[in-house]
Amino acid sequence: MPYRAPVSEIVFCLEKIVGYDRVAATERFSEATPETVAAMLTEAGRICEEVLAPLNRAGDLHPARLENGIVRTSPGFGDGWRAIAEAGFVALAADPDNGGLGMPMALTSGVNEMIASACLALQLAPLMSQGQIEALEHHASDELKAIYLPKLISGDWNATMNLTEPQAGSDVGALRTRAEPNGDGTYAITGQKIYISWGDNDFTENTVHLVLARLPGAPEGTRGISLFLVPKRLPDAAGNAGVANALKVVSLEHKMGLHGSPTCVMQYDGATGWMVGAEGGGMAAMFTMMNNARLGVGVHAFAVGEAAYQHALDYAAGRVQGRPMVAGGTGTILDHADVRRMLTGMRAELFAARAMSLDLAVAIDMAHATGDAAWAARAAFLTPIVKTYGSETGISVADTGIQVHGGMGFIEETGAAQFARDVRVTAIYEGTTGIQGMDLVGRKFADGGDAAFAILDEVAGTAEVAGNATLAETAEAVRAATQRMLALDLNDRFAGAVPFARAFALTLGGHYHLRAAMAEPGGPRARLAQSYLARQMAAVPGLLSEATAGAGDLYALSPDDLAA
C-alpha cells in the first residue's frame, strides 16, 4: 500500500502540544515561522510519498553489496539521496554560513520521521551526516570546517561515525585503533571498526569518517580517546575529493533487516586523518554527534511503526473474515474487538512517541536559541526517554502489525515482516535500551531529580487543567518512585532503570494525549486519549513497582543456577 505522510499530525503536535510558537518567537529561529515549517513539511511529505517510499521494498529485496572493494547500493537509492539533498533535507539545521538553512531541530525531526517511514535504510545516511555536521560545527578547526561542511551540507559528500570495534562494543574505552602523529598536523590512523552505517556508497563523491582512536602514551579508558576526521578521498588543493586514502571496506554485515543500508567493517591502514577537538576529548566531541543520533534513532523507530500501522490498518480494512460483531459492521476484521484493541493501541503509542520527540526537539531549539540552562537540562533528561520509548514503540507496533495480518503477516510478500526486521536494531543503535535507562537514573539524576520533578510538575498541571484524576494520580506515583530511586544504591537503580524509563514515558504520553483532547474536545483525539489513559497508562503502577524493587532478586541466582 502507498505510504501517507502524516504532515497534519506533525503540524498538530508542533502547534497544539509542544509549543513550537516559542521557538519561532526567538531571534535565532524567527524565519522558521509556523507557516514556513508547515510548507517545508508538506514538501518533504510529497518527496517521501512519491520518491522514497517506493525504494523501501527494493532495498530489502536487493541489498547493498560489496564488489571488488566498491559498495553497490540498492536500486534507486542514489536518486533518493539526490532528492533529499536537493531539497536541502540532509542538513536543515546546519549553519547558513556553511550552506545550511539554519532551521530548528523541531523541523528536522519532523522531516526525518517521514523519510524514515518511507525508507529507513536510506534515511540512516542523512542522519549520520546531520550528526557529523553538528560535531564539526562545535569542535573542528576553521580550516576543517571550510573544507568539509559545505560538501556535507550539500550532500555531495556523506558522513559516518566510527566507534565500535570487535572487542569494544558499549565499552568504547577498550578500543585499540591507533593515531600516530605524522609531524605535519595530520595523523596516521590504524585499526578496524565495525557496524559502520553507510561506510561507503556509489552515489556521493566522498565519505567522511569520524574515528575514535588513541594517541601514543594516552591513558587507558575513555580519557585517552581522541577524535579524528578521516576521509575516504583526501581533498585536493581546491577542496575536492582527490586521491584515495589508506582505508577500505573489508566486508558488509549480513543483517536481520535494513538490507539497503550498507553496514561496513572498516579497515584503516595508516590512513591520513585530522584531529577534531582537543587531545583526549574524543568522547566529548563524539557525544555531540551521538546525542543528535539518539533523538534521530528514537524518531526512526516510531516512524517505521507509523508505516507498519498504516500497512496493518489498510489490511484490516480489506480483510473479510468472520461475522460482524457490532451493529453496522463492515464484515472485515476491523469489526473484531481484539483487532480494534491492537490498532487503537498502535495509534495511541505512536502519537505519544511523536509528541515526545518533538517536545525534546523544541527543548533543544530553545536551549540553542536562549542559552537557558533549564532548557538544556530538560533536553538532556528527555533524550534517553525519547530514545528508549521511540525504539520500543516502533518495535512493538511493527510486531503488532504482523499480528493484525495474522498468518499473512508471517509471509514476506505482504511486507509486514520487513518493518519488524528493519526496526529491531533501533533498541541497540546509539546505546541499548538498558544503557539509556541507566543514563536516565544515573547521570540524569545527578541534579537530585530536579529535571524530572520539573517535567512532572508540568504533567500535574495538565491533569489539573483537564480535571483528570487518572493522570494526576499517575504523575504523583512517578514522583514518589523517582524519590525512592534517588535513595537507592546505583546498581539497585540500574536494575529498575528500564521499567522506570517506560513508566515515565507512558506518563508523559498521557500528558500529551490530554493536551490533544483539550485542543479538540469531543473529537477523535479525545476518544484516543481516553483509551490511552485507560489502557497503555494502566501499566505504570506495575512498572514502578519493578523499578523500585532493587537488584537483590536478580543476583539470587548464581551463574550456575541460570545455566541449569
d(CA 202, CA 67): 11
Residue 271 in grid coordinates: 590512513
Which one is predicted more confidently, 393 or 167? 393
Among candidate residues 437, 452, 542, 453, the one with its CA nearest the CA of residue 496: 437
| Residue 267 grid coordinates | 579497515
**Alpha carbon distance 421, 413 (integer Å):** 14
Determine the Cα–Cα distance for residues 219 and 226; give it in Å rounded to an integer. Answer: 11
Rounded Cα gap, residues 165 and 162, in angstroms: 9
Question: How many of the other CB atoms lie within 10 Å of CB of 519?
Answer: 14
Q: How many CA atoms lie within 13 A of 303 on its CB side?
A: 32
- Per-residue buried b or exposed e for 38-65, using 16+ beta carbons within 10 Å of the residue's own CB: bebbeebbebbbebbbebbebbbebbbe
Instruction: Please pick, among 49, 137, 430, 473, the residue that the annotation labels catalytic.
Output: 430
Instruction: Evaluate the CA torsion angle 11, 468, 460, 538 in order and state its sign.
Output: negative
137 phi, psi to nearest 5 deg: -60, -35
Give residues with Cβ within 8 angstroms of 464, minimum separation 6.
472
What residue type is assigned to position 439 of the chain?
D
- Asked if the model's pLDDT at residue 4 lies above 70, the reply is yes
Cell of 102: 539554519
pLDDT band at 201 (very low <50, low <70, confident <90, very high): very high
Asked if pLDDT for residue 172 goes beyond 80, the answer is no
74 in Cβ contact with 63 (< 8 Å):
yes
Amino acid at 363: A
Given a cut of 90, whether residue 64 has pLDDT beyond it is: yes
Looking at residue 164, what DSSP letter applies? -
- The cell numbers describing 247, all together, are 582505508
For position 170, what pLDDT does the model report? Answer: 67
Cell 508505516: give the residue: 307
- Mean pLDDT of all residues in 247-252: 97
DSSP state of 245: P
Provide the b/e sequence for 159-194 (b: ≥16 CB within 10 Å): bbbbbbbeebeeebbebebbbeeeeeebbbbbbbbb
Helix (H) / strand (E) element for 513: namely helix 497-519
Rounding to the nearest 10 degrees, give the CA dihedral for residues 275, 279, 280, 283: -40
Residue 430 annotated in active site: yes
Contact yes or no for 513/348 (Cβ under 8 A)? yes
Q: Tell me the C-alpha distance between 527 and 50, whole Å.
A: 32
Torsion of CA 234, 202, 430, 359, to 10 degrees: 100
- 65 band by pLDDT with thresholds 50, 70 and 90: very high
Contacts of 197 (CB under 8 A, 6+ apart): 124, 125, 128, 160, 261, 262, 263, 264
Q: In whole angstroms, what is the distance from residue 432 CA to residue 438 CA?
A: 10
Query: At a CB cut-off of 8 Å and minimum separation 6, what does 524 contact?
Result: none
The DSSP element (H or E) to which 439 belongs, if any, is helix 433-441
Q: Provide the pLDDT for residue 237.
A: 93
Could you tell me which of 123, 119, 127 has the C-alpha nearest to residue 53?
119
Phi, then psi, of 128 in degrees rounded to 5 = -60, -40
The pLDDT of residue 384 is 97
**How does residue 73 score in pLDDT terms, banded at 50, 70 and 90?**
very high
Per-residue model confidence as pLDDT tens digits over 77-126:
999 999 999 999 999 999 999 999 999 999 999 999 999 999 999 999 99
pLDDT value of position 551: 97
Give 169's pLDDT tier (boundaries 50, 70, 90): low
Q: What is the CATH number of domain 285-553?
A: 1.20.140.10
Name which of 231, 274, 239, 209 is nearest 147 in CA terms.
Answer: 239
Give the whole-angstrom CA distance, residue 257 versus residue 426. Answer: 11
Helix (H) or strand (E) holding 479: helix 469-487
Sole residue written with cell 518493518: 419
pLDDT at 108: 97
Q: Tell me: the pLDDT tens digits for 406-422?
A: 999 999 999 999 999 99
What is the rounded average pLDDT for all residues in the chain? Answer: 95
Q: In the beta sheet, which residues pair with residue 252? A: 264
Which backbone phi and psi does 234 adopt, to 5 degrees? -75, 130
Does the pLDDT of residue 222 top 90, yes or no? no
Assess contact for 280 and 223: CB atoms under 8 A: yes
DSSP 140: S
CA dihedral 54, 56, 57, 60 (to 10 degrees): 150
8 A C-beta contact, residue 398 and residue 419: yes
192 phi and psi angles, rounded to 5 deg: -125, 140
Q: Could you report the per-residue pLDDT of 351-383, keeping only the tens digit for each?
A: 999 999 999 999 999 999 999 999 999 999 999
